[in-house]
Amino acid sequence: MTAETLRCAHVRRVWRPEFPVDVTATWGVLRRGAGDPAWRVAGGALWRGMATPLGPVTLRTITRPGEGVVLGEAWGPGAGWTLDRLPEMLGEADEGAATFEPGHPLVAESRRRHPGWRVPRTGLVLESLVPAVVEQKVTGQEAFSGWRRIVRRFGEPAPGPGGALGVRVPPSAETLRQIPSWEWLRAGVSPQRSDTVVRVAALADRLEELPALDHAAARRRLVSIPGVGVWTAAETAHRALGDPDAVSFGDYHVAANIGWALTGHPVGDEALVELLRPWAGQRYRVQRYLELAGAMRPRRGPRMAPRGHLPVG
Protein backbone atom coordinates (compact mmCIF):
# COMPACT_ATOMS: atom_id res chain seq x y z
CA MET A 1 0.00 0.00 0.00
CA THR A 2 1.48 3.34 -1.06
CA ALA A 3 2.01 6.32 1.21
CA GLU A 4 -0.59 8.26 -0.79
CA THR A 5 -3.13 5.46 -0.34
CA LEU A 6 -2.54 5.48 3.41
CA ARG A 7 -2.84 9.26 3.51
CA CYS A 8 -6.24 9.05 1.82
CA ALA A 9 -7.52 6.00 3.76
CA HIS A 10 -11.19 6.40 4.63
CA VAL A 11 -12.95 4.19 7.18
CA ARG A 12 -16.48 4.23 8.65
CA ARG A 13 -17.89 2.63 11.77
CA VAL A 14 -21.33 2.34 13.33
CA TRP A 15 -21.11 1.71 17.06
CA ARG A 16 -24.12 0.73 19.19
CA PRO A 17 -23.12 1.46 22.81
CA GLU A 18 -24.90 -0.19 25.71
CA PHE A 19 -24.99 3.12 27.60
CA PRO A 20 -25.87 6.75 26.77
CA VAL A 21 -23.04 8.62 25.03
CA ASP A 22 -22.46 12.37 25.31
CA VAL A 23 -19.53 13.07 23.00
CA THR A 24 -19.27 16.75 23.90
CA ALA A 25 -19.24 16.15 27.66
CA THR A 26 -16.85 13.19 27.47
CA TRP A 27 -14.42 14.81 25.06
CA GLY A 28 -14.82 18.36 26.34
CA VAL A 29 -11.60 18.07 28.35
CA LEU A 30 -9.71 17.23 25.14
CA ARG A 31 -10.45 20.64 23.67
CA ARG A 32 -7.74 23.20 24.37
CA GLY A 33 -9.75 26.38 24.48
CA ALA A 34 -12.40 27.81 22.18
CA GLY A 35 -9.92 28.35 19.33
CA ASP A 36 -8.36 24.86 19.37
CA PRO A 37 -7.23 24.26 15.75
CA ALA A 38 -7.63 20.48 16.19
CA TRP A 39 -11.34 20.78 17.04
CA ARG A 40 -14.29 21.87 14.92
CA VAL A 41 -18.07 21.52 15.09
CA ALA A 42 -19.68 21.63 11.64
CA GLY A 43 -22.60 20.02 9.89
CA GLY A 44 -23.94 18.50 13.09
CA ALA A 45 -20.68 16.61 13.63
CA LEU A 46 -17.63 16.95 15.83
CA TRP A 47 -14.38 16.96 13.84
CA ARG A 48 -10.98 16.33 15.42
CA GLY A 49 -7.44 16.33 14.08
CA MET A 50 -5.34 13.66 15.78
CA ALA A 51 -1.74 12.43 15.68
CA THR A 52 -1.91 8.64 16.13
CA PRO A 53 0.91 6.07 16.25
CA LEU A 54 0.16 5.32 12.59
CA GLY A 55 0.01 8.91 11.43
CA PRO A 56 -2.37 11.89 11.16
CA VAL A 57 -6.13 11.40 11.25
CA THR A 58 -9.31 13.36 10.78
CA LEU A 59 -12.08 11.95 12.98
CA ARG A 60 -15.73 12.88 12.37
CA THR A 61 -18.22 11.80 15.04
CA ILE A 62 -22.03 12.02 15.08
CA THR A 63 -24.42 10.69 17.72
CA ARG A 64 -27.97 9.62 16.93
CA PRO A 65 -29.58 8.98 20.32
CA GLY A 66 -32.91 8.05 18.78
CA GLU A 67 -31.25 5.18 16.94
CA GLY A 68 -28.84 4.38 19.77
CA VAL A 69 -25.78 4.69 17.55
CA VAL A 70 -22.54 6.64 17.29
CA LEU A 71 -21.24 7.15 13.76
CA GLY A 72 -17.50 7.43 13.33
CA GLU A 73 -15.72 8.33 10.12
CA ALA A 74 -11.97 8.75 9.80
CA TRP A 75 -9.45 9.70 7.13
CA GLY A 76 -5.69 9.25 7.09
CA PRO A 77 -3.05 6.61 7.89
CA GLY A 78 -4.40 6.05 11.41
CA ALA A 79 -8.08 5.88 10.40
CA GLY A 80 -8.55 2.19 11.20
CA TRP A 81 -6.54 2.46 14.42
CA THR A 82 -8.73 5.35 15.57
CA LEU A 83 -12.11 3.78 14.85
CA ASP A 84 -11.05 0.50 16.47
CA ARG A 85 -10.58 2.51 19.67
CA LEU A 86 -13.56 4.83 19.36
CA PRO A 87 -15.63 3.03 22.06
CA GLU A 88 -12.77 3.25 24.58
CA MET A 89 -12.23 6.89 23.68
CA LEU A 90 -15.87 7.50 24.58
CA GLY A 91 -15.78 5.65 27.89
CA GLU A 92 -16.57 2.01 27.17
CA ALA A 93 -13.70 0.99 29.47
CA ASP A 94 -14.97 3.20 32.32
CA GLU A 95 -16.05 0.36 34.61
CA GLY A 96 -16.84 2.60 37.57
CA ALA A 97 -19.43 4.71 35.75
CA ALA A 98 -22.37 2.43 36.55
CA THR A 99 -21.49 1.68 40.19
CA PHE A 100 -20.29 5.10 41.33
CA GLU A 101 -21.91 6.37 44.54
CA PRO A 102 -22.21 10.19 44.35
CA GLY A 103 -22.33 10.69 48.13
CA HIS A 104 -23.29 14.38 47.81
CA PRO A 105 -26.45 16.03 46.44
CA LEU A 106 -24.60 18.26 43.97
CA VAL A 107 -22.56 15.37 42.58
CA ALA A 108 -25.70 13.23 42.36
CA GLU A 109 -27.59 15.96 40.50
CA SER A 110 -24.76 16.42 38.01
CA ARG A 111 -24.62 12.70 37.43
CA ARG A 112 -28.35 12.68 36.75
CA ARG A 113 -28.06 15.58 34.32
CA HIS A 114 -25.09 14.08 32.46
CA PRO A 115 -25.85 10.37 32.02
CA GLY A 116 -23.73 10.20 28.86
CA TRP A 117 -20.49 11.43 30.45
CA ARG A 118 -17.75 8.90 31.10
CA VAL A 119 -14.02 9.10 31.72
CA PRO A 120 -12.43 9.01 28.27
CA ARG A 121 -9.46 6.81 27.38
CA THR A 122 -7.89 8.07 24.16
CA GLY A 123 -4.71 6.01 24.46
CA LEU A 124 -2.83 9.00 23.00
CA VAL A 125 -0.47 10.04 25.78
CA LEU A 126 1.48 12.67 23.88
CA GLU A 127 -1.75 14.33 22.68
CA SER A 128 -2.69 15.08 26.31
CA LEU A 129 0.72 15.41 27.92
CA VAL A 130 2.29 18.05 25.66
CA PRO A 131 -0.55 20.62 25.97
CA ALA A 132 -0.61 19.98 29.72
CA VAL A 133 3.09 20.88 29.91
CA VAL A 134 2.41 24.06 27.93
CA GLU A 135 -0.39 24.91 30.39
CA GLN A 136 1.78 24.54 33.51
CA LYS A 137 1.63 27.46 35.96
CA VAL A 138 0.10 29.98 33.57
CA THR A 139 -3.36 31.44 33.05
CA GLY A 140 -5.80 29.51 30.89
CA GLN A 141 -5.72 32.29 28.29
CA GLU A 142 -1.93 32.13 28.04
CA ALA A 143 -1.86 28.32 27.95
CA PHE A 144 -4.45 27.96 25.22
CA SER A 145 -2.97 30.70 23.05
CA GLY A 146 0.51 29.20 23.30
CA TRP A 147 -0.61 25.74 22.24
CA ARG A 148 -2.85 27.20 19.52
CA ARG A 149 0.12 29.03 17.99
CA ILE A 150 2.28 25.89 18.03
CA VAL A 151 -0.42 23.76 16.36
CA ARG A 152 -1.08 26.37 13.68
CA ARG A 153 2.61 26.93 12.99
CA PHE A 154 3.94 23.36 13.22
CA GLY A 155 0.92 21.10 12.89
CA GLU A 156 -0.39 19.96 9.52
CA PRO A 157 -3.75 20.11 7.74
CA ALA A 158 -5.96 17.21 8.79
CA PRO A 159 -6.37 14.50 6.13
CA GLY A 160 -9.41 14.35 3.85
CA PRO A 161 -12.23 16.83 4.40
CA GLY A 162 -10.88 17.91 7.78
CA GLY A 163 -8.23 20.00 6.08
CA ALA A 164 -10.82 21.86 4.02
CA LEU A 165 -12.61 22.77 7.26
CA GLY A 166 -9.41 24.22 8.69
CA VAL A 167 -8.83 21.38 11.16
CA ARG A 168 -5.18 20.80 11.98
CA VAL A 169 -3.32 17.82 13.43
CA PRO A 170 -1.01 18.67 16.36
CA PRO A 171 2.71 18.28 15.63
CA SER A 172 4.24 14.83 15.92
CA ALA A 173 6.94 13.94 18.45
CA GLU A 174 9.60 14.29 15.75
CA THR A 175 8.37 17.75 14.81
CA LEU A 176 8.18 18.87 18.46
CA ARG A 177 11.82 17.87 18.97
CA GLN A 178 12.88 20.08 16.07
CA ILE A 179 11.04 23.31 16.96
CA PRO A 180 13.67 26.01 17.62
CA SER A 181 13.75 27.67 21.02
CA TRP A 182 12.84 31.09 19.60
CA GLU A 183 9.64 29.69 18.10
CA TRP A 184 8.54 28.51 21.52
CA LEU A 185 9.26 31.97 22.90
CA ARG A 186 7.34 33.56 20.04
CA ALA A 187 4.38 31.35 20.96
CA GLY A 188 4.60 32.54 24.57
CA VAL A 189 5.98 29.27 25.99
CA SER A 190 8.79 29.70 28.52
CA PRO A 191 12.10 27.83 28.13
CA GLN A 192 11.40 25.64 31.16
CA ARG A 193 8.17 24.37 29.60
CA SER A 194 9.54 24.04 26.06
CA ASP A 195 12.52 22.07 27.39
CA THR A 196 10.08 19.71 29.10
CA VAL A 197 8.10 19.30 25.87
CA VAL A 198 11.26 18.35 23.98
CA ARG A 199 12.20 15.93 26.76
CA VAL A 200 8.74 14.36 26.63
CA ALA A 201 8.80 14.12 22.83
CA ALA A 202 12.11 12.23 23.00
CA LEU A 203 10.36 9.63 25.18
CA ALA A 204 7.28 9.35 22.96
CA ASP A 205 7.67 5.65 22.18
CA ARG A 206 7.96 4.71 25.87
CA LEU A 207 5.10 6.98 26.85
CA GLU A 208 2.73 5.31 24.42
CA GLU A 209 3.26 2.11 26.45
CA LEU A 210 1.50 3.69 29.45
CA PRO A 211 -2.06 2.55 28.58
CA ALA A 212 -0.90 -1.04 29.20
CA LEU A 213 0.11 -0.22 32.80
CA ASP A 214 -2.14 0.10 35.83
CA HIS A 215 -3.07 3.68 36.62
CA ALA A 216 -0.79 4.13 39.62
CA ALA A 217 2.23 2.77 37.74
CA ALA A 218 1.47 4.99 34.75
CA ARG A 219 1.32 8.12 36.90
CA ARG A 220 4.60 7.15 38.59
CA ARG A 221 6.30 6.84 35.22
CA LEU A 222 4.96 10.22 34.16
CA VAL A 223 6.19 12.07 37.25
CA SER A 224 9.62 10.44 36.87
CA ILE A 225 10.19 12.72 33.87
CA PRO A 226 11.90 15.98 34.91
CA GLY A 227 9.43 18.82 34.50
CA VAL A 228 6.34 16.60 34.77
CA GLY A 229 4.67 16.93 38.16
CA VAL A 230 1.55 15.59 39.82
CA TRP A 231 -0.78 18.08 38.13
CA THR A 232 0.58 17.43 34.62
CA ALA A 233 0.46 13.67 35.16
CA ALA A 234 -3.15 13.85 36.33
CA GLU A 235 -4.20 16.04 33.41
CA THR A 236 -2.75 13.38 31.12
CA ALA A 237 -4.04 10.34 33.01
CA HIS A 238 -7.72 11.30 33.07
CA ARG A 239 -7.68 12.04 29.34
CA ALA A 240 -5.38 9.46 27.77
CA LEU A 241 -5.50 6.62 30.30
CA GLY A 242 -9.09 6.71 31.55
CA ASP A 243 -7.95 7.14 35.16
CA PRO A 244 -11.03 7.94 37.30
CA ASP A 245 -8.88 8.87 40.31
CA ALA A 246 -6.52 11.38 38.65
CA VAL A 247 -7.48 14.60 40.45
CA SER A 248 -5.76 17.78 39.27
CA PHE A 249 -3.94 18.48 42.55
CA GLY A 250 -1.87 21.64 42.29
CA ASP A 251 -4.35 23.46 40.07
CA TYR A 252 -4.92 27.11 40.90
CA HIS A 253 -8.71 26.70 40.93
CA VAL A 254 -9.61 23.00 41.28
CA ALA A 255 -9.11 22.62 45.05
CA ALA A 256 -10.89 25.89 45.82
CA ASN A 257 -13.82 25.08 43.51
CA ILE A 258 -14.33 21.54 44.83
CA GLY A 259 -14.07 22.75 48.42
CA TRP A 260 -16.59 25.51 47.79
CA ALA A 261 -19.01 23.12 46.04
CA LEU A 262 -18.87 20.42 48.71
CA THR A 263 -18.47 22.46 51.91
CA GLY A 264 -19.34 26.07 51.09
CA HIS A 265 -15.79 27.38 51.38
CA PRO A 266 -12.60 26.99 49.28
CA VAL A 267 -9.83 24.64 50.41
CA GLY A 268 -6.22 23.93 49.49
CA ASP A 269 -4.69 20.70 48.23
CA GLU A 270 -4.03 19.18 51.67
CA ALA A 271 -7.63 19.70 52.74
CA LEU A 272 -8.82 18.46 49.34
CA VAL A 273 -7.09 15.12 49.89
CA GLU A 274 -9.11 14.63 53.07
CA LEU A 275 -12.31 15.96 51.55
CA LEU A 276 -12.15 13.48 48.66
CA ARG A 277 -11.10 10.51 50.78
CA PRO A 278 -14.62 8.94 50.75
CA TRP A 279 -14.35 8.69 46.95
CA ALA A 280 -10.91 7.03 46.89
CA GLY A 281 -10.35 5.47 43.48
CA GLN A 282 -13.03 7.70 41.91
CA ARG A 283 -11.86 11.17 42.91
CA TYR A 284 -11.51 12.58 39.40
CA ARG A 285 -15.08 11.50 38.72
CA VAL A 286 -16.18 13.87 41.49
CA GLN A 287 -14.03 16.66 40.08
CA ARG A 288 -15.50 16.31 36.61
CA TYR A 289 -19.13 16.01 37.73
CA LEU A 290 -18.71 19.27 39.65
CA GLU A 291 -17.10 20.92 36.60
CA LEU A 292 -20.00 19.80 34.43
CA ALA A 293 -22.37 21.26 37.00
CA GLY A 294 -20.58 24.60 36.76
CA ALA A 295 -19.79 24.46 40.48
CA MET A 296 -17.23 27.24 40.77
CA ARG A 297 -16.65 29.52 43.72
CA PRO A 298 -17.57 33.19 43.19
CA ARG A 299 -14.68 35.15 41.72
CA ARG A 300 -13.47 38.30 43.42
CA GLY A 301 -10.94 40.75 42.09
CA PRO A 302 -9.35 40.98 38.63
CA ARG A 303 -8.25 37.94 36.67
CA MET A 304 -4.54 37.15 36.51
CA ALA A 305 -2.91 38.92 33.57
CA PRO A 306 -1.03 36.86 30.96
CA ARG A 307 2.74 36.96 31.31
CA GLY A 308 5.21 37.47 28.51
CA HIS A 309 8.29 35.33 27.90
CA LEU A 310 9.92 37.26 25.08
CA PRO A 311 13.10 39.16 25.96
CA VAL A 312 12.58 42.85 26.69
CA GLY A 313 14.38 45.48 24.64
Check residue 292 and give its pLDDT. Answer: 96
Check residue 144 and give its pLDDT. Answer: 86
Query: Distance between CA 255 and CA 247 in Å, rounded?
Result: 9
Check residue 295 and give its pLDDT. Answer: 85
Check residue 301 and give its pLDDT. Answer: 46
Check residue 138 and give its pLDDT. Answer: 75
Check residue 6 and give its pLDDT. Answer: 52
Check residue 304 and give its pLDDT. Answer: 42
Sites in the chain below the pLDDT cut of 50: 1-3, 5, 301-313
Check residue 5 and give its pLDDT. Answer: 46
